[in-house]
Structure 1
Amino acid sequence: MAQATSAFHVVGEDDATAIWFLGTLALIKGHGAGSGGVFGVVEFTHPPGFATPLHVHNNEDEAFYVLDGAIRGVCDGREWSASRGGFVWLPRGSRHGYRVEGDEPVRTLVFSIPAGFERFVIEAGEPALARTLPPPSEPDLEKLGAAAARYGQEILGPLPL
């Protein structure tokens, strides 16, 4: 079996693939194709009031680094919070989710180990027409559910916070 290889590359601020994903702006900074499948990186801008559903990633661990703002979440029943400069590790298989705290957008870097989450974002989202938050809209739950199933994710329901 051939092993995936990685190659040196640089992604500039304006070079990242821009996706509108569940009301957020997602900038794909690191594709698994460039890291030999080792990890993926997505920079998210979340609007005030944003919350994920409670969900599980069965194929990858997930890590957050908060660039701006504050988030509050739950992981396997434990509540947590993180603000600018904070780091959160969410092991694969954990039941987790988070919400934006406050009235300002939040920016995070999300790392998936191994890669794969970035492909889910691309498939479940849509190409951004601008590098801004998308206009408010209802999520396409059928598209989201199909992509989640393909990428080993389970959407469990509303966030219990």
Structure 2
Amino acid sequence: MHIPAGQGRAVWLNGDVYSVKIGHEESAGSLAVLEASVPPGGGPPLHDHRHEDEAFYLLEGELEIHADGETYQVKAGDFVFVPRGTVHGFRNTGLHTAKQLLLFTPGGFERFFLEAGKHAVAGVNIPPFDPADNPQAMQVAEKYGSYQV
């Protein structure tokens, strides 16, 4: 399987854009990989995943990642692993958009992004986070075993 650069099912969620590179269907359930573009100030609230481990590999920019009571100042090339059940979240504290790969094992959590997000449109700016979207996103997250704290 080959997914060219800039391709993959893409959605806007919480002011960020997430592109699914591979999901549970394509990986026989073993893996999901998403590319995330996170503008300054962007990132999800603290949450956990009951069914998946999550890993972050930062490609560009800088992020502040919180995991299990620790705070990491992450730069391009850094990797962070978060075991399932660990409270975590991230925020772009820099001046420029950060790009990262999110890896979930097993696969399946990509369905949260696809269901809770809005279809991303090429050439259109990412809409800012709208708190009115949060209740629906939280319901979808709980459906897939993720809980905001």
TM-score (norm 2): 0.93
Tell me, yes or no, if structure 1 residue 74 matches structure 2 residue 76.
no
Greater Rg, structure 1 or structure 2? 1
Q: Which residue of 1 aligns with 2:35?
A: 43
Q: Which residue of 2 aligns with 1:34?
A: 26
CA contact (8 A) 2:14 2:128 kept: no
3-state SS, counterpart of residue 25 of structure 2: helix
Structure 1 residue ranges, 4+ long, deviating more than 2 angstroms after superposition: none
Q: Aligned partners of 2:123 and 2:35: how far apart in 1?
A: 12
- Say which of 5, 12, 15 aligns to 1:13: 5
Distance 1:27 1:21 in 2: 11
Q: Deviations over 1:96-145 (max 9, x none)?
A: 11111211000000000001221110011011122665122404122111
In structure 1, stretches of 5+ residues that fail to align are 1-8, 157-161
Paired residue for 1:5? Answer: none
Q: Is residue 2:104 matched to residue 1:115?
A: no
Name structure 2 gaps, 5 residues minimum.
none
CA distance in 2, matches of 1:29, 1:113: 14
- TM-score with structure 1 length normalisation? 0.87
Instruction: Report how many residues are paired.
Output: 148
Q: How does 1:1-161 map to 2 (within 5 A)?
A: 9-130=1-122, 133-139=125-131, 140-156=133-149
TM-aligned CA distance change 1:51 to 1:137, over 3 Å: closer
Q: CA deviation at 1:15?
A: 3.1
Task: Kindly report the root-mean-square deviation, in angstroms, between the aligned alpha carbons of the 2 structures.
Answer: 1.4
CA 1:64–1:137 in 2, change beyond 3 Å: closer, same or farther? closer
| Identity percentage of aligned residues | 36
Evaluate the alpha carbon distance shift between residue 13 and residue 96 of structure 1 in structure 2; reply closer, same or farther with a 3 A threshold: same
Q: Kindly provide the amino acid, as one letter, of the partner of residue 121 in structure 2.
A: L
Q: 1:84 deviation in Å?
A: 0.3
Question: Which amino acid is 2:134 matched to?
Answer: L
